[in-house]
Structure formats: C-alpha cells, structure tokens
C-alpha cells in the first residue's frame, strides 16, 4: 500500500493533478472510475458502492489435510467495511473471515464455468516464477506471502468492480460466509458444467467459421502471453545483474575505510566517501522491491491473457457445436430426400445393402421417414437453440472483451508510466549519492 | 631540501662506487638548477610539454614492433631547439627508466606499463592494448618531465631529442658489462647482509607502503569487478528494449508508449555502455599505475637499505681489519656520503610523491564521481522525456480530463 501511494503521489506531482477518466458513452456499464494503485477499478458497481473490500492480513496455520497429514498453509483475512462508515467518521469493526488460496481458486473456477463469456480476473501466481536470485521461490517466504496478499485483494476488487461478476451470489457468500461456503459452491453443480479439455481442444481444431474477431483476439492473447513472459524473464535477469553492480560498490566502502586509516590528509575525505559508497550499495534493495511491484502488474496481464483466450476457446466450442448440429441437420434432410425420392445421392451402407439384399418394404420406409421427420424437427430446434446460444455468447463476450481492452490499455499505460517514475527516482538517488561522494573525494 | 643536495654534490667525488657517473653536463648553472628544484611553484610555469601518440607498426625480418611518436615543446635553455619530434619504441622507454633508476636509486620514478598483459592471450598488437600502453607511456614521460631531478637528466634529454641512430650509440655508452656484473654482486651481497639499524622513519615508510600496496590493489580489483558486473548487466538490458518493441507490434493504443519505452531503454543502454568504457579508460589505468607505484616504492626502499647495509659493512670492516686502512677509510667516506645522499633524496622525493599521488587519485575519483552523476542525469532526462510525451499525448487525445 505504501509503494502504491508513493507512486500515486509522485505521479500527481508530475501531472499536477489527479486524473479522472471521463465516461465512455458506448459503454453504459462503465461508469465512474478511480485509480487504485494505477489500475482501473470501477467503483460504479452497487457492491462497491456499499462495501469496501480488502485482504488485510496473512497468517500461518497448521492442520490435517485430506490424507490426514499435517500441513502448514497460509490464510488471508478478508475484511468488508461499509463505505459510509469512513465518511461518517465512525469506525465499526469490519466483517471479516479467513480464506486460504485454494478457496480463492475454487471461487475462480466456479466463475470461469458459470460465466464463460466473461474475461474472468486472474489470481496471483500459485508458485513464484520469474524470480531473480535474491527473491525466494518459497511459498512460505514472507515477501512472497505479502505480494500474494496484495494480489488476492486485487483479484477481489476486480471481481467486485465487474458489472456482472459483482452481482454473483457465490461471490458474495465467499466474502461473507466463512463456514459451509465450499459446500454451497459444490451444490451448484458447476463442475458438471465444465467443458472437458478434450472437447474444447477438438473444437479448436475442427471449427470451420469462428467469428473473425474472436480468432484475432485469441491470436492476440497468444502474443501477449509470449511477450510478457519474455519481458518478465529478461527483467528478472537484469535485476539480478543490477543487484551485483550496486553491491560490489559496498567493497569500495570497506577499502576506503581501511585506506583512510593509513593516510593523514586524505583520511577524512576517504572515510566519508566510503560511507556514501555503502549507502549506494544499500539503495538497490528498495529499487528492486519497487520493480517487483511493476513485475506483478505485468504478471496480472500475463494471466489475463489466459482468461481472454479461454473466452475465445469457448466461442470456438459453441460455434463448433452449432456447426455440428447444422451439419447433422443437413445430413438428416438429405437422407429424407433420398428416402422420399428413392434416389441415392450419397453413399450409405444402407443403400448398398438394400441394393444387395433388396429394398425395404413401403411400411419400413414409411416408418423410417417418420423417424427422420421427428429427428429433423428436433434438429431444427437444436440448430435454432445453438444459433441463439452462439449469438448470445458472441454479443456478451464481445462487450466484455471491449471492456477488458480498455481496462488493459489504461492499466498497462499506467504501469509503464510508473516504471518511468521508478527509473527517475533511481536516477535521482544515484545523482545524489555520487554528488555527495564527489564532494568527499575533492576533500581528499 | 634539494639545495642541500646541490652543495653536497659539489664536495663529493661524483663517481659512485657502482661505477656509473653523473654526466658532467647535467650540472648546468646553479641558478637554473635551483629553479628546477622548486617544483611546487613550477605548477603554473611548466616549461616543457611532452606528448606520446601516433603508434605505428614496423616489420623487419627478425621482428615486428610498435613505435610511438614523442613530441617535445620546451623553452628550456639546455635544449638546442624549442620543438622536437622523434619515434621511440617500448624498449627505449625501458632503457630510460633503467638509466634514471641507476643514477638515482632512491628517487621514485613513475612506473612504465607492463611488458605483457598477464591475463589471457591478448595480442600484443591489439588496438586497445596499444592505446592503453600509449596513454601510460604518455603519463610516464610527463611524470618524468615534472620531476625536479629526473627532468634535468641528460639521458632524458637525449631520449626526447636524439635521432634513432644517435640514441642507439648513446645507449651503448655507459658502464661496461664487467662493471655492471660487479655492481650486481655487491648489491646481492648487501641484500644478504641486511641492514642493522634502519632509521625509524624508513621502517614507517615500509609499513605504509605495504598497507598502501594492499589497499590500492583491492581498489583495482573492486573496480575491475564493477566493470565486469556492469558489462553483464548491459548484456541483459540490451534485450529489454527489443522486447518492448516486439510487444508494441501486437498493440494499438499501447503501441506508441511501448515503442517509446523501448527507445528509452535502448538509450539507457548506450549510456551504460559509455559509462563502462569511462571506468575502463580513466579510473582503472590510474589505479593500476599506483599498484605498480607501490612496487616501485618497495624497490626504492630496498635499494636504500642496500646502500645502508653497504655502509654498515664497510664500517665494520674498518673496525676489524688492519690492512689497507687508507683505502678502506676512503671507501667508508664515500659509502657514508652515498647513504646520506640516498636518505635525503628519498625523504624529499617521498614528500613529493605523496603529494602527486594524492592529486592523481583525488582527481581520478572526483572524475569518476562526475561521470557517474552525468550518467544518471542523462538517464533521468530520457525517462522524463517519456513522461512528458505521455502527458501531452493524454491531453492531445482528449481522453483525459485534467479538470
């Protein structure tokens, strides 16, 4: 929270004022927006108008797991405060409950299955990736836990500020009902609704006419994921090296100090210059901590890319199912025609066997025709249904994709700006240290 | 201090026991000698300027070697003309240094660049190596020119002015092989004998030199490590810009800021590259020379000790032996004079050296600090221009309402 407020303050100084995005007329969903640490978080939802949500703390717990073994895990405290309380000046005890990461995962999986046409906000990473040597990859490491806490809060705020997701009852009970929530989620039977991976993969390969925009979006999602991964990797390596450069300067401090002991006139200058070299070496820790914050912002969109692709894959699936139904209908209609006119246009085993073993009786043919008619009727209903589904999906998904695009453009631009501000701050510190050192050296 | 030396010289047989002799022409008019010794006031009235440049490769049947152009501009009266241009090779510099040290064993000469680069198989004729060597040779000659006694050496004058043929024949003069052998034997004998009553101040000097040598070597190593780490940082940083540029190709609204960031990172890379080069070109050579200086100081102290050991041995010999007393008394007097001369020379030059060292290292570190400040200032400007562009962009697009 302090890092974010420093960046906000510095940005306010540079831009002279707070900025507010004006509403975009096309999107009635998008109303008043505020920046929260540089991220676009809509405060327009009714949920956020009433309640302030935060993930305030993290704690270690031990307990028995599913196979009755002792395990240590971390729980996070979710707090809900009524919005008016802050303005009234009263400070009532917030509603709060503890949740662990796996429960957040369950919530998200539920949302993914229930709202496949929405770009569902991502969770912070399960395991630390793209670490540079000083950062721990250990899930129990306090720095990792802290960054995860921030990421989980961000997730909740993203969901709470989404016009559709914020109204979900399971989400609300996640925030309010500590016990029995898990059972409630399972009772929705959402797991049965989930598409099998195989089914989805099959659709991706076989769909014939996906909406061009979704195909492009999917491609964009692939590129975004690839390029952000590369950026995070390169950045982590550069951070490692930068750390080395700064820390070696600490050796100057030590040697200057030792050298000053044997000199008369040069002693004081050397000694004080040495202190500045120590300060320089130490300054890299803060610098890199701020950069982690930037990396986290990038990571969020790395994972968002996945959510985007999921929506596109779902479109492919619905489109494919429509195509399958339509294809099936066409073939049934063709069969009817053949049966009715007695001509065989398409090769069919029935056709061959009937030629070989004699044709069916008129009664058999009549029965068959009747069955086909029913099937065709059902098929037409199915096609209608699936067509409607598909259209509905395309409509709602595209609205959310447009919303996501705007959010992404805003957030990432803000992230780049805050990166620049960080670099400026680093340069200013460097200028100060070396000017101080120069003064000391000139007294040598 | 040096005026005392001058009087000394007049009373003493100028032939030293090691066989070398002061060239008579070195002793010019007393007045001009006194002028040269007042080095502190000379800072603004420098009357000799030497440059080393223009390396050229020479190929003969036997070898390939590099020569450097040495240009001298001077108003000193002992020089026949005011401008000279000669070509010299590394061997010639070695010869000069050797002559100066022979003539003044307890004066502190600035070090020459090393013969070979120890680390790695660096080609002797590699451009960077030649340039580094050229700069070091330039500094060497300038330090000699600034030294009150060395700069009036006849050998120095010949080095600066003689045509190649002349120099070669001059080099052939000087003590013969046998007498040089004799010197070496005497020096070894003295070293083995060891000095008994070294005055406290010289012991303190030795302790200082030990510690100084360690510290300056550490600084040299630390600086080299910094250069290595920065080069590795630069390698990674060089990949960041292109990644942002690649990203910008998939984006619409974000394309411009991403391209901009890519440009900024690339510019910072260039600045970092220059900064690394600065450290290598400016700070490291100076630190390295002072590491070599420490070795020179150790050698000087050793030579002084040997002169004292020689005197102590002769004193003992006079006390114990009965024959040849007159010769021995004569030798002892000479040894005593030599010792006193050596001690005084060292003491004065020690003070001078400390001042020069302080100046050199101070300005090297101040220079480094300034370059670092400049580096950060340039990077700062790069990122501020990015922020500025984002601000004007936002206003221009009408997307942001700065109300």
CA B266 to chain centre: 37
pTM of the shown model: 0.81
- What pLDDT is attached to residue B120? 52
The alpha-carbon radius of gyration of chain A (Å, integer) is 31
User: Which tens digits make up the pLDDT trace of A414-435?
Assistant: 999 999 999 999 999 999 999 9
Q: Does B373 touch chain A (CB under 8 A)?
A: yes
Residue B217, Ramachandran bin (φ over 0: left; ψ between -120 and 50: alpha; else beta): alpha
- What pLDDT is attached to residue A91? 65
Answer yes or no: same fold for B45-174 and B193-394.
no
Instruction: Check pLDDT > 70 for residue B26.
Output: no
- The answer to whether the Cβ–Cβ distance between B229 and A262 falls below 8 Å is no
- What pLDDT is attached to residue B190? 66
Within 193-252 of B, beta carbons closer than 8 Å to A belong to 208, 211-212, 215-216, 218-219, 222, 225-226, 229-230, 232-233, 235-237, 239-240, 243-244, 246-247, 250-251
Length of chain A: 444
Q: Which of A19, A413, A424 sits opposite B257 (nearest CB)?
A: A413
Phi and psi at A255, nearest 5°, equal: -70, -40
C-alpha span between B382 and B115 (Å, rounded): 43
Domain residue limits at A263: 210-343+360-443
* Chain A residues inside the 8 Å CB shell of B208: 262
Q: Which of B236, B251, B358 sits opposite A237 (nearest CB)?
A: B236
State the CATH number of the domain containing residue A429: 1.20.1270.60
User: Which tens digits make up the pLDDT trace of B240-294?
Assistant: 999 999 999 999 999 999 999 999 999 999 999 999 999 999 999 999 999 999 9
Query: Nearest CA of chain B to the CA of A21: how many Å?
Result: 6
As a whole-number percent, the residues of chain B with pLDDT over 90 amount to 56
Phi and psi at B10, nearest 5°, equal: -65, -30
Which residue out of A261, A431, A435, A443 would a mutagenesis test of the B interface target, given it has the greatest number of B Cβ atoms within 10 Å? A431
Q: Is the residue at A307 inside a domain?
A: yes
* Chain B residues inside the 8 Å CB shell of A415: none
DSSP category for residue A99: E
A355 vs B321, residue with greater confidence: B321
Instruction: Check pLDDT > 60 for residue A297.
Output: yes
B328 vs A402, residue with greater confidence: A402
pLDDT range class, residue A16, cuts 50, 70, 90: very low
C-alpha span between B143 and B359 (Å, rounded): 13
- What ipTM was reported for this prediction? 0.84
pLDDT range class, residue B393, cuts 50, 70, 90: low
C-alpha span between B193 and B187 (Å, rounded): 10
Q: Is the residue at A186 inside a domain?
A: no
Which residue out of B211, B228, B233 would a mutagenesis test of the A interface target, given it has the greatest number of A Cβ atoms within 10 Å? B233
- CATH hierarchy code of domain B45-174: 3.30.1520.10
Q: Which of A252, A413, A420 sits opposite B383 (nearest CB)?
A: A420
| Bridge partners of residue B294, in order along the sequence | none
Which residue out of A14, A438, A442, A443 would a mutagenesis test of the B interface target, given it has the greatest number of B Cβ atoms within 10 Å? A438
Q: Is the residue at A377 inside a domain?
A: yes
b/e map B354-388, b = 16+ CB within 10 Å: bebbbebbbebbbbbbbbbbbbbbbbbebbbebbe
Q: Which of B244, B366, B399 sits opposite A441 (nearest CB)?
A: B366
Q: Is the residue at A118 inside a domain?
A: no
- What pLDDT is attached to residue B41? 43
* Chain B residues inside the 8 Å CB shell of A252: 219, 222
Lowest mean pLDDT among A110-114, A219-223, A334-338: A334-338
Q: Is the residue at A178 inside a domain?
A: no
Which range among A85-99, A344-358, B193-207 has the greatest average pLDDT? B193-207
| Bridge partners of residue B51, in order along the sequence | B71
C-alpha span between B104 and A325 (Å, rounded): 105
Q: Which of B208, B235, B390 sits opposite A262 (nearest CB)?
A: B208
- What pLDDT is attached to residue A357? 59
- What is the DSSP secondary-structure string of A405-432? HHHHHHHHHHHHHHHHHHHHHHHHHHHH
- What pLDDT is attached to residue B119? 57
| Bridge partners of residue A72, in order along the sequence | A62
Q: How many domains does chain A have?
A: 1
Instruction: Give the residue-averaged pLDDT of B147-176.
Output: 83
Instruction: Check pLDDT > 60 for residue B177.
Output: no
- The answer to whether the Cβ–Cβ distance between B366 and A412 falls below 8 Å is no
Q: List all residues 6 or more positions away from B131 whose beta carbon is below 8 Å from its beta carbon.
A: B55
Q: What's the mean pLDDT when you consider all of chain B?
A: 83
Q: Which of B232, B251, B387 sits opposite A241 (nearest CB)?
A: B232
Instruction: Give the residue-averaged pLDDT of A354-363.
Output: 67
User: Which tens digits make up the pLDDT trace of A127-173?
Assistant: 877 777 666 667 778 888 888 999 999 999 999 999 999 999 999 99
Q: Could you tell me the residue ranges of all domains in chain B?
A: 45-174, 193-394
Q: Is the residue at A326 inside a domain?
A: yes
C-alpha span between A287 and A429 (Å, rounded): 10
Q: Which CATH architecture has domain B193-394?
A: Up-down Bundle (1.20)
- The answer to whether the Cβ–Cβ distance between B250 and A431 falls below 8 Å is no
Beta strands A51-64 and B48-59: pairing type? unpaired
C-beta of residue B58 within 8 angstroms of C-beta of residue B30: no
User: Which tens digits make up the pLDDT trace of A165-200?
Assistant: 999 999 999 999 888 999 999 999 888 888 888 888
């Amino acid at each position: 929270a302090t890092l974010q407020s420093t960046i906000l303050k510095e940005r306010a100084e540079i831009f002279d004022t707070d900025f507010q995005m004006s509403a975009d007329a096309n999107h009635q969903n998008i109303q008043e927006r505020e920046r929260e640490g540089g991220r676009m978080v809509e405060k327009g939802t009714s949920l956020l108008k009433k309640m302030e949500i935060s993930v305030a703390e993290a704690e270690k717990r031990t307990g028995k797991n599913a196979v009755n073994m002792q395990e240590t895990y971390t729980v996070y405290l979710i707090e809900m405060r009524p919005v008016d309380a802050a303005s009234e000046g009263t400070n009532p005890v917030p509603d709060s409950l503890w949740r662990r990461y796996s429960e957040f995962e369950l919530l998200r999986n539920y949302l993914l299955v229930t709202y496949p046409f929405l770009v569902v906000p991502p969770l912070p990473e399960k395991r630390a990736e793209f670490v540079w040597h000083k950062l721990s990859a250990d899930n129990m490491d306090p720095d990792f836990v802290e960054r995860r806490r921030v990421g989980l809060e961000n997730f909740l705020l993203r969901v709470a500020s989404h016009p559709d997701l914020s109204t979900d009852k399971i989400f609300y009970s996640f925030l309010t009902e500590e016990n029995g929530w898990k059972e409630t989620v399972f009772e929705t039977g959402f797991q049965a609704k989930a598409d099998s991976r195989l089914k989805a993969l099959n659709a991706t390969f076989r769909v014939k006419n996906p909406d061009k925009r979704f195909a492009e979006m999917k491609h964009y999602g692939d590129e975004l994921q690839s390029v952000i991964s590369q950026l995070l990797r390169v950045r982590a390596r550069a951070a490692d090296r930068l750390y080395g450069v700064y820390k070696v300067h600490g050796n100057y401090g030590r040697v200057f100090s030792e050298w000053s002991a044997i000199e008369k006139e040069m002693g004081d200058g050397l000694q004080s210059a040495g202190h500045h070299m120590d300060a320089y070496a130490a300054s890299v820790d803060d610098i890199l901590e701020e950069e982690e914050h930037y990396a986290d912002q990038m990571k969020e969109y790395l994972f968002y890319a996945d959510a985007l692709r999921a929506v596109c894959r779902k479109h492919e699936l619905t489109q494919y199912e429509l195509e399958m139904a339509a294809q099936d209908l066409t073939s049934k209609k063709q069969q009817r025609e053949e049966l009715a006119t007695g001509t065989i246009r398409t090769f069919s085993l029935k056709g061959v066997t009937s030629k070989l073993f004699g044709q069916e009786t008129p009664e058999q043919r009549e029965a068959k025709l009747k069955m086909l008619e029913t099937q065709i009727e059902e098929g037409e209903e199915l096609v209608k249904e699936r067509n409607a589904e598909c259209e509905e999906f395309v409509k709602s998904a595209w609205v959310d994709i447009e919303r996501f695009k705007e959010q992404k453009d805003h957030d990432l631009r803000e992230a780049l700006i805050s990166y620049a501000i960080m670099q400026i701050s680093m340069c200013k510190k460097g200028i100060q240290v070396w000017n101080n050192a120069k003064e000391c050296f000139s007294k040598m | 201090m040096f005026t005392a030396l001058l009087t000394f010289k007049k009373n003493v047989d100028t032939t030293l026991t090691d066989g070398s002799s002061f060239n008579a022409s070195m002793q010019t008019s007393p007045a001009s000698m006194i002028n040269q010794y007042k080095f502190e006031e000379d800072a603004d009235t420098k009357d000799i300027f030497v440059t080393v440049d223009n390396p050229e490769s020479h190929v003969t049947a036997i070898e390939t070697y590099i020569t450097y152009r040495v240009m001298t501009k001077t108003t000193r009266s002992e020089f026949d003309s005011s401008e000279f241009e000669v070509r010299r090779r590394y061997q010639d510099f070695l010869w000069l240094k050797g002559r100066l040290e022979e003539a003044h064993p307890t004066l502190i000469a600035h070090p020459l660049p090393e013969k070979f680069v120890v680390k790695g198989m660096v080609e002797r004729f590699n451009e960077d190596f030649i340039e580094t060597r050229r700069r070091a040779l330039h500094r060497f000659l300038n330090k000699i020119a600034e030294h009150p006694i060395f700069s009036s050496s006849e050998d120095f004058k010949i080095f600066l002015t003689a045509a190649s043929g002349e120099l070669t024949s001059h080099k052939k003069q000087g003590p013969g092989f046998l007498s040089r052998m004799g010197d070496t034997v005497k020096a070894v004998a003295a070293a083995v004998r060891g000095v008994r009553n070294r005055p406290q101040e010289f012991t303190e000097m030795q302790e200082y030199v030990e510690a100084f040598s360690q510290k300056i070597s550490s600084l040299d190593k630390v600086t080299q490590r910094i250069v290595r780490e920065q080069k590795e940082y630069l390698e990674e940083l060089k990949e960041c810009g292109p990644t942002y540029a690649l990203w910008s190709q998939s984006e619409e609204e974000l394309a411009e800021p991403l391209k901009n960031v890519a440009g900024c990172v690339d510019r910072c890379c260039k600045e970092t590259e220059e900064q690394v080069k600065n450290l290598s070109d400016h700070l490291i050579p100076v630190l390295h020379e002072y590491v070599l200086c420490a070795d020179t100081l150790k050698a000087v102290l050793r030579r002084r000790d040997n002169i004292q050991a020689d005197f102590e041995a002769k004193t003992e010999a006079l006390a114990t032996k009965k024959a040849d007393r007159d010769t021995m008394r004569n030798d002892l007097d000479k040894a005593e004079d030599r010792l006193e001369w050596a001690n005084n020379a060292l003491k004065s030059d020690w003070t001078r050296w400390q001042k020069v060292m302080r100046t050199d290292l101070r300005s090297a570190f101040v220079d480094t600090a300034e370059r670092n400040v400049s580096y950060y200032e340039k990077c700062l400007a790069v990122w501020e221009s990015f922020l500025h562009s984002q601000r004007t962009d936002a206003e221009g697009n009408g997307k942001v309402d700065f109300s």
